[in-house]
Structure 1
Amino acid sequence: MDQARSTISKIFNGEPRSYTRFNLTQNMEGDNSQVEMKLSSDMDEEVGGNGVGEHAKHHPHQSYTTTKPQQRPPRNVCFMVAGIMLIFVIGYLIGYLAHRKSDVGSPACASAVSTNGEDDTIYQTETVSSLDWSDITSLFKSKLTQDSVEKSLSEFSSDSHQAGSPGDEALGNKVLKRFKDYGMDPWTDEHFVRIQTSPPSGANKVTFRGKTFAESGFLSYSALGSVQGAILYAYYGQMDDLRRLQDLNINANGRVLLVRAGKISFAEKVANAVSVNASAVLIYPDPADYSFDRETDLFGHVHLGCGDPYTPGFPSFNHTQFPPATSSGLPSIPAQTIRASTAAAIMKEMGGGNPPRGWADGGLQVYKLGGDDDLASVDVNNVLVEKKIHNVFGVIKGFIDADRYVVIGAQRDAWGPGYASSTVGTSLLVELARTITEMKNKNGFKPRRSIVFASWSAGEYGAVGATEWLEGYISSLNMKAFSYISLDGAVTGPTFKASASPLMYDLIQSTLKEVTLPNDPSKNLYSQVVGSNWETAVMEPMKMADSAYPFQTFSGIPSVSFRLTSDKDYSFFGTSLDTKKNLVINVFRVGALVKTAGEIAGNVALRLVHDHLLKMNVEKYSSLIRSQVAQINREVFSLQKSNRIPKTLKMQWLMSAMGSYSRASRRLLTLIQNSDLADTEQCRIINDRIMGVERNLLSPYVSPRESPFRHILLGSGSHTLGALLSHLAAIKDGSAGADIDVLRNQFALTTWTIQSCANALAGNVWEMDNQV
């Protein structure tokens, strides 16, 4: 094309037309980029210097024979010039049209011109979308309307959709149809999972002082059978509560623990009871914590884990060869929920002393600890059944890194209507899919990376559907899925709270500053934050019962679970009273709050798929590691001073690994600050290093079947830094379970897990700073 222009210019002007070529080069020593500018005449000189002209210059004695050109008649010359001009005009038009077609036909890389405000230097960069961030957020907010959200809430509301039921399948088909309508080419995954349901009689039984109480509520995955023991009131069943009883010289061995619902999950309450050798657990909703009728049944599960506990570490596909194994998180004692009225009747007849201060602050008339003669019988006869469940998926594919994706997920099943627990999340899921699809198809939004929308089943049994999917595709998911956003239980009040990977804290903070309050568009959600430390006010530890927990601690995928809530927990989860009516009564302006929740999730997802570099701060883990290592160091120093542990156990290796991670994270931030965002390959390399942090904090030294939550900072098990601290506390207390050799092993494995993470974050092997 340029040659054609040059030739025509020579014909008319006799001189070539100069043009300018700009090359953006990266200055790795600072933030300023250098721009190289060359004229065509300079290029001609360079070409001549390397070609025939240079050859003639260095060989002056070489002779050349020249002949005088033959003269042509003026008429022939005119015809020749006219013919040449016609040929080049036709060539010019063909080249122009072909060039224009090429520009229009390439959706993945559009040219954008940027201007540096300081020196007005113009340079060319490569971008995916013609929309900037403010355009994208404005467009997203305009399309995610309250009317459309409320229509989806009505469409996906259902009175009965327990996991694997026809109601659950019907909702799944609705989600699938909506995804198809959006042109997302959706798909489904089938899993065959085992869950416990209520006994054939419809109720389990509790017998106390000759009176039998039939309880329609139940706890899936409880141990089965009939046991007896004296009832012991243990408040909320937390470990602190059980230690309080030990301080009062009350032995829980063989007792039936009566505990309140709340504070911690049902599974944790039962696991704590097992640790003190209790014979069974009865869990009731105290009227002080739950505002519903005293005859209301509670439902839940007691698997201290996620997924199908009868295929631990394996996906429950129909073709899977299942090993003869069960999850270590299954309880060994029966557990049963009882109504508040049953708890009141039992407590009224109990003996024993008065409970510790605060334990009697409830809604029952009488509170007693219980005596040795307060014998009760607990009969649990749940039925283990196999259910076929469906997970439903849709995808919006990215234009640059299509094989990198964020997953947005919502639980679809519920014990009853499940309006707050599942209907809100499912409705938000399909509305986010609709909105972002429209932005892509109609408004020119071109995400760099992909978004996967997932509707899970069997969430009420411990994120079973989600975990089975993770187990089935773990080898690719933890390499390609860079984040998970949970929509479960997203709206129960006006105040924002979240649990997330520390990598995502900065992204959450910026999101709060961009999403406005539903009742006051002049203010953002960040204005709700009380105090100078927003993380303390907003962020909470991610609990095992959280649906995002297996993504974070089993798969090493940075995750966020958020909710708009109130000071008092929504009391209808796990009951048949989780209805639209009760949510509307307890929460003002539900529709507006659901739209706000959608804006939060959408803002996080769009930022992750729009930016050249993932908005994740790897330095956040430096402070968390430093904090825990400092606690360990204090305990080790104290125990060595009192000769409880040998001085040969050195802290220097763990401290060195901590320093390696800190240095690697700082160097990556420096690289990011000096990176060329137009360099697609460099951005991908940096993003892969960011994505690897969470995955590399999973301990490689424990089995995912025996210890599935392998994250050494946020997970659960003997491999974690928290377990190391607990072991030091056990040595300090003189516990029989303390073992110095085990402690040394914990030190070694945690040290090398952190060091390995630091090595991977540093990049190539020749860039590592391994001081251990």
Structure 2
Amino acid sequence: MTDTDQKSFIPASRPSWYGPPYLTADMYPSSYERRAKLRQDVFRCFLTVITSAALVALIMRSITGAGIVYREMLVQPSIDDPAELIKGIPSSEHIRDFFHMYASQSHLAGSERDKELAEWTRDKFIEFGITDTKIETYWPMLNLPISRRLAIVSPPELAFEASLKEDPVEEDESSRRPDVPPTFHGYSGDGNVTAPLVYVNYGRLNDFEQLVNQGIDLTGTIALVRYGKISRGLKVRAAELYGCSGVLIYTDPLDDGPVNKSAPTGSFPEGPWAAPSTVQRGTVHYLSLSTGDPTTPGYPSTENAPRVPLNESDHVPHIPSLPISWRDARPLLQALENHGVTDPDWVGGLEDIGYYTGPSEALVNLVNLNKYEIKPVWNVIGRIEGAVEPDRVVIIGNHRDAWGFGGSDPVSGSATMLELVRTLGILLKNGWTPRRTIIFASWDAEEYGTVGSTEWVEDHQDWLAKEAVAYLNVDVGVRGNLFGADASPLLHQLLYQVTRTVIDPHTGKSVYQVWKERQQKIPSGDDEEPLVPLARPLGAGSDFAAFFHHIGISSISLTYGGVKGVYHSIYDSIYWMEHFGDPTYEYHQTMTRIMGLLTLRLSDDIVLPMYPSSYGKELTYYATRVESRHAGLKLPELTSAVQKLRHASDKFDQDIEKLRAKVEKHQHKHEHLGHKTKKQVAKVNQQLLDFERAFINPHGLFSRPWYKHTVFAPGLWNGYGSQTFPALTEAVDSHDAALTRQTEEQTVRILNHARKSVA
């Protein structure tokens, strides 16, 4: 019998809600079948014919992978062991059904389909037992294109008109739908410009600076840049800074296409990578400066909120931009041949293209005209009341809106979160209640700049700052089998503890072990920390931003990563997921388990599963990185403050381990704790919440005051990736000694405040 021929046997008496198999590595057919036969013989003596038939009618199912077959548990775990139920209930079939519902049509933020899905999600929350569910509406400024054009208008021999659209694919029904969204940028500037073209590689500051140093005048030109390395908004910001009149951002086959790729290879639909007509839509909001509606900075976009005129905002572009495919980019790059210079590091993956910088002699016409309007978006908020600490809240969120059909982004996350809602609903119906309140949030308008979540945080800021325990985010839940997480160091140990208990579908190892083995192969380029750490620091680009960076709520963002060639295109679809991303929805199922166990620990552990000592270790590394930015730089006050904080946090964790052990027997039971123990728990938990909040500077970073976390922010000129000690790093890079000293002193004050919170 081969692996793929083996079957698991599930008793017909299993509750219908229990879902498909929970994967365990120690249940194999031979011993399993002997046990089943023995039970059947015993029951035959005592039970009715109907019961006997039910026992014989075993449900057949097998999950195979990498030579290992996993079996479903025969014994239903007790409600006293909710962790095992959370591992056992999630169903790949349910997830697939939810996935198809969300991804069957395009659902851009503010669209009619977006609203329909908000109402459907609300109804599902209620159906699954979260009766306290409502839709909270906000009114941000959003744009849709009304006129777009890209053409080479002279000389005549180079004349070219770009299609600005993606080809329908016979294999993928979604791509042939009439409601496919246009290719455009959220928050792009209006304009109709005709100008020479320049090629500026990835559109980073140093790329533009390189052209200036070569004597190329960028004033009034249209910049052609490729996707990658930094967020698209900062490419436009850099172009505007250097005097360009417009920006075109294209997908190059070397970055997101099949060039130089192996296992897997091939452009969609033959493979998972970008096709020649693939276009990556997306926002050009300057996410490293702020998130949310740029017309209501720092306060919620209610229907009658006062507005900052968009043309006065420093957080969005004021020049036109368009996303384009490499098919449309090729004639533009050909028009640059033998004009300017070429650099081997700037060469992409298009054959017979020299990737010359220009400027071109050809003139290019770029038209991008938008309809900007204040329109409603809909956050779905479901609440499970806590039994012991109802004021404390754990928030789980995923955005619902998409640039198209949203297969991996965000539907994989939407489907897994909804399956977690179903799972916890089953626990609720069987008598379980969390210690603390759990809130599920289906955010809207994330794709424009994490708008829905930011407006909600700004609307509930005081309450969240006081009561929120943690925020758990899932955006691209699954686009492959590479588990990864961005997280506050306070939650690193929790993340590792949980992933040690969940089995990877294909290897039979724990998710943690597979994750660690992969990361141990990736050098960090740093002598002191030679390997890339498992959990990454939080940057920007998803719905954790306002929670973590703006008000200091410890956060985790989870993903199963993989090939991102169809990112934000119409090809990110049901077809793509079921052929390349996760055909069996096994990794969606695994993600649901991980999310569920994290939610359970954060909402139910008597002592919060947070570990300041992990912060102390990370801060030591971050301080060293700041000093290493410039030869001879010494920051003695910072070094001393970090050492003191690390010592205090290590001692704090050691001390509260005794308390954790003391209350362990009371987990999940909501039993009455002794008065003294109860006071100890309350004090420690408050200290743990205060610790992350202590890193918040109420005045914000001097270059971008919306961001207030002293230790983390998105890179000022990166946008997605995290910059540690951001204010101090920017001061050091300014070569302003007085500013550096002032910022070091401010940072030290914040670190000392954090240390005192766990003293």
Q: TM-score range by the shorter chain?
A: 0.7 to 0.9
Q: State the shift of 1:338 in Å.
A: 2.0
Tell me the CA shift for residue 467 of structure 1. 0.7
Residue 21 of structure 2 corresponds to: none
Cα 1:691–1:252 shift into 2, 3 Å: farther
> Is the CA contact 2:539–2:712 (under 8 Å) kept in the aligned structure 1?
no
One-letter amino acid matched to 2:319 = I
Amino acid across the alignment from 1:342: D
Are 2:481 and 2:561, in contact at CA under 8 Å, matched by a contact in 1?
Answer: yes
Check whether the contact 1:416–1:576 (CA below 8 A) recurs between aligned residues. yes
Change (3 A) 1:166 1:575: same
Aligned to 1:690: 688
1:352/1:369 contact within 8 Å kept: yes
Pick closer, same or farther for the CA change 1:745–1:694 going to 2, 3 Å: same
Structure 2 CA distance for aligned equivalents of residues 357 and 205 of structure 1:
27
Unaligned segments of structure 1, at least 5 residues? 1-128, 641-650, 732-738, 763-772
| Overall identity of the aligned pairs, in % | 27
Which residue of structure 2 aligns with residue 368 of structure 1?
Answer: 356
Question: Distance in 2 between the 1:257 and 1:713 partners?
Answer: 34
What is the CA distance between 1:636 and its match in structure 2?
A: 7.5
1:46 paired residue number: none
Q: Does 1:440 align with 2:428?
A: yes
Which one of the candidate residues 500, 523, 546 is aligned to 1:513? 500
Give yes or no for contact 1:405–1:452 (8 Å, CA) kept in 2: yes
1:594 aligns with 2:580: no
Pairing partner for 1:303 from 253, 274, 285: 285
Letter of the 2:469 partner, please give it.
Answer: F
1:51 alignment counterpart: none
Give CA deviations for 1:206-242 in whole Å, capped at 9, x if unaligned.
4453544363521121222234543221222234434
Counterpart residue identity of residue 403, structure 1: D
Corresponding pairs, count: 610
| Contact 2:149–2:365 (CA under 8 A) maintained in structure 1 | no
Q: Does 1:234 align with 2:231?
A: no
1:668 has 2:668 as partner: no
Give the letter aligned to residue 162 of structure 2.
F
Separation in 1 of the partners of 2:591 and 2:539? Answer: 20
Q: Is the 8 A contact 1:403 1:450 kept in 2?
A: yes
Q: Deviations over 1:158-213 (max 9, x none)?
A: 312111111111111111111222332211211011111111x4x24344535443
Cα offset for 1:298? 3.2
SS at 2:249's partner residue? Answer: strand
In structure 1, the residue matched to 2:297 is 312
1:301 and 1:364 map into 2 onto residues whose CA distance is: 29
Measured at CA, do residues 379 and 364 of structure 1 come closer, stay the same or move farther in structure 2, by a change above 3 Å? farther
Is the 2:129–2:428 contact (alpha carbons within 8 Å) kept by the matching residues of 1?
no
CA contact (8 A) 2:484 2:515 kept: no
Query: Where does residue 110 of structure 2 map in the other structure?
Result: 164
Question: Is the CA contact 1:280–1:378 (under 8 Å) kept in the aligned structure 2?
Answer: yes
Deviation at 1:531, TM superposition (A): 6.5
Aligned-residue offset at 1:624 = 2.7
In structure 2, the partner of 1:152 is: 98
Map Cα deviations across residues 639-678 of structure 1 (whole Å, 9 max, x no partner): 68xxxxxxxxxx4443343244224323322331233534
**Is the CA contact 2:110–2:377 (under 8 Å) kept in the aligned structure 1?**
yes
Higher relative contact order (CA 8 A, sep 6+): 2
2:605: which partner in 1? 611
Residues 707-722 of structure 1: matches in 2 within 5 Å? 707-716=705-714, 721-722=725-726
Q: Deviations over 1:575-608 (max 9, x none)?
A: 1221100122222434111101111111111111
- SS of the residue 1:561 aligns to: strand
**Are the counterparts in 1 of residues 216 and 359 from structure 2 also a CA contact under 8 Å?**
no
1:271 lines up with 2:237 in the alignment: yes
Contact 1:157-1:419 at 8 Å conserved across structures: yes
Match of 2:437, SS? strand
Which aligned pairs between 1:556-705 and structure 2 lie closer than 5 A? Answer: 556-566=552-562, 569-633=563-627, 638=632, 651-675=635-659, 676-677=662-663, 678=673, 679-702=677-700
Name the amino acid aligned to 1:760. Answer: S
Residue-by-residue CA offset, 1:235-288 (whole Å, 9 max, x unaligned)? 222344345545655454543221111232211222233343433221011123
Matching of residue 213 in structure 1 with residue 162 in structure 2: yes
Q: CA deviation at 1:526?
A: 1.9
Pairing partner for 1:338 from 299, 314, 324: 324
What is the 5 A alignment of 1:356-395?
356-366=343-353, 367-371=355-359, 373-395=361-383
Aligned position for 1:473: 460
**Which residue of 223, 231, 237 maps to 2:189?**
223
Q: Is the 8 A contact 2:386 2:437 kept in 1?
A: yes
In the aligned structure 2, how far is the partner of 1:496 from the partner of 1:604? 15
Structure 1 counterpart SS, 2:517: coil
- Counterpart-to-counterpart distance in 1, 2:715 and 2:582: 41
Deviation at 1:493, TM superposition (A): 0.5
Point out the structure with max Rg over C-alpha: 1
Query: What is the CA-CA distance between 1:562 and the residue it aligns to?
Result: 1.6
Paired position in structure 2 for 1:44: none
| C-alpha contact 1:328 1:706 (8 A) present in aligned 2 | no
Question: What is the CA-CA distance between 1:688 and the residue it aligns to?
Answer: 1.6
SS in 1 for 2:162: strand
What one-letter code is carried by the residue in structure 2 that aligns with 1:454?
A: A
SS of 1:381 mapped into structure 2? strand
Following superposition of structure 1 onto structure 2, how do residues 85-124 of structure 1 map, counting pairs within 5 Å?
none
TM-score normalised over the length of structure 2: 0.75
Contact 1:710/1:716 (<8 A) preserved: no
CA distance, structure 2, for counterparts of residue 213 and residue 723 of structure 1: 43
CA distance in 2, matches of 1:426, 1:652: 47
Distance, in Å, in 1 between the alignment partners of 2:108 and 2:375 is 11
In structure 1, how many angstroms separate the alpha carbons of the residues matched to 2:456 and 2:423? 26
- Give 1:153's aligned amino acid: F
1:197 equivalent among 134, 144, 147: 144
